[in-house]
Amino acid sequence: MTTITGYHAHVYYDAPQKADAQRLCEALRDRFGLPMGRLHDGAVGPHPRGSCQLTVSPEQFSDVMQWLIANRRGFTIFAHALSGDEIKDHTDHVIWLGPSEQLDLSKLA
């Protein structure tokens, strides 16, 4: 069995959406006390475009996902488990809210 120690939720955005994406991420941070990474305006790691990462504990995951389903404001959200296996965490242990996007898994090898 895979041990999941937490989750990342990545809010994807394009340049014209940056201010709205920041407001969404800050709302998540403030509502749930989540650690919020910086906003990356371009592809970083395996992510195909701008994104902001929030770290979610296993105990908070259900509440955070329910809130995002109702409040994601049209943004694509890529959520994945943190199990220590980066490839599986970005392929098998994932949830997409909105359209899924192609990740560059070569960045994880």
User: What is the Cα–Cα distance from 57 to 82, expressed in whole angstroms?
Assistant: 10
What's the pLDDT band for 1 if we cut at 50, 70, 90? low
Task: Give the residue from 48, 31, 37 showing the smallest Cα distance to 9.
Answer: 37
Per residue in 67-100, pLDDT tens? Answer: 999 999 999 999 999 999 999 999 999 999 999 9
Task: Give the residue from 80, 13, 81 showing the smallest Cα distance to 44.
Answer: 13
